[in-house]
Every structure is written in C-alpha cells, then in structure tokens.
A and B are shown apart, each in its own frame.
Chain A
C-alpha cells in the first residue's frame, strides 16, 4: 500500500513557467510534509516543508499548498529555471518521528530553456 502518491511521474516546463507537482496521502496521523529535491548522484535536499495547521507556505520561488480535508498537498515552482531540473519527492511523517519519512515515487522535472 502506497501511503504517499505523487504525480506526475515526469514534467516538462518551459523556462519561466510554473511547475506543479501533486501529492496525496491516506494516513491522518501524518503531520509533517516536506518536499525534497534530488540531483543525479546526490542525496535528497530539503526544499520546503509544511505542517497541517497552515494552508500555504512560500519560500522564494517555491510554494506548498496544503488541503487537509482532501489530504493533498502540492509544490509550485514559480519562474522555473533550467537549474531546477531535478527529481522532486514529496514525503510525510508522523508527529515525533519526522525523520521516518514516507516518500512518494518522485517527479522528474525538466525545464527547457
């Protein structure tokens, strides 16, 4: 059973466009929802994270939108750049165990110049 479902599997966006990646979860015990960025041959790096007490969090060009009732959250990358081309993972974890992350399967983003 996949606890965190991520879509799309791959995404191609033109430079300057908006990249949108979606995730859905089932377990209502999850209370921490990070997004990680991973470049080939590297470990995942935290981009931005949100807790369910807020509906949106913005850091620079990256925004998480969170819908608690629908059990969905999404990552928006504004003004996408070729350097943003990477694989993005959403994840979720339970209270008190934020390092025990359940990851989605990832979205490979390609930003075309």
Chain B
C-alpha cells in the first residue's frame, strides 16, 4: 500500500490520559499535514511540516498538542491530558512541494473518543 497510513484507526481513552498517533506519508512526499475533523464538519488544519521542520501551527493547536516529524519521514501527534472536546477524527495528509500538481493525499484517519 503506497498511500498515507495512520495508526491506530481507533482510540478510546479516559479523560486526562495522553495519546499519541502516528502517520506515515507517501514515501516521496516532503510535506505532511495534520487535520482534525469533528462530526458533520469539514477538516480543520492543525499543523504542517516540510521535511522535519514544523512550518505552521493553527491556533487550534493548544499547548496540550504537540507534533513531531523527527527524520522527515513519519510524524506523531500527541495530545496530553485529553479532554472530551478532543474527541474527533485526526487526519494526516501528505504532498510533494514544489510541484505543479499539489494534491494533498489524506489517510483514513484516527478516530479518538475521550470518555
């Protein structure tokens, strides 16, 4: 499978616990993005990396959220002290920049439920 891979697909956690998600982008893609999608809404941008550098963070990314892409390949998104409002689908996408065709490919997401 050469698409964007996310793990786990589902995560149920108790409020206050920390969770970490992993994203493996398409291998030749140098840009990696994290989005959050709540039920009935479009995805909302959280942050993106070009290679290992985190270039932009949304104001949605509170200080409880941290993302890394240590070697410019896979990325992790950690949420500390989870709250019920963190329940959402967390989507990862990747693209190659610069490119005339700048399509961002999305993974299937990690659905987080905070109980």
A residues whose Cβ falls under 8 Å from a Cβ of B: 6, 32, 34, 36, 41-46, 49, 89, 91, 96-106
Contacts and interface: CB of A to CB of B under 8 A. Distances in A.
Nearest to B111: A41
A32 B35 CA distance: 18
B40 interface: yes
A102 B109 CA distance: 18
Nearest to B29: A99
A46 B45 contact: no
Contacts of A44: 43, 91, 106
A49 B103 contact: yes
> Interface residue tally of chain B, by bracket?
20 to 34
A46 B105 contact: yes
Interface of B: 4, 31, 33, 35, 40-45, 48, 56, 91, 93-95, 97-98, 102-109
A105 B38 CA distance: 10
A6 B43 CA distance: 13
A100 B48 CA distance: 8
B108 A43 contact: yes
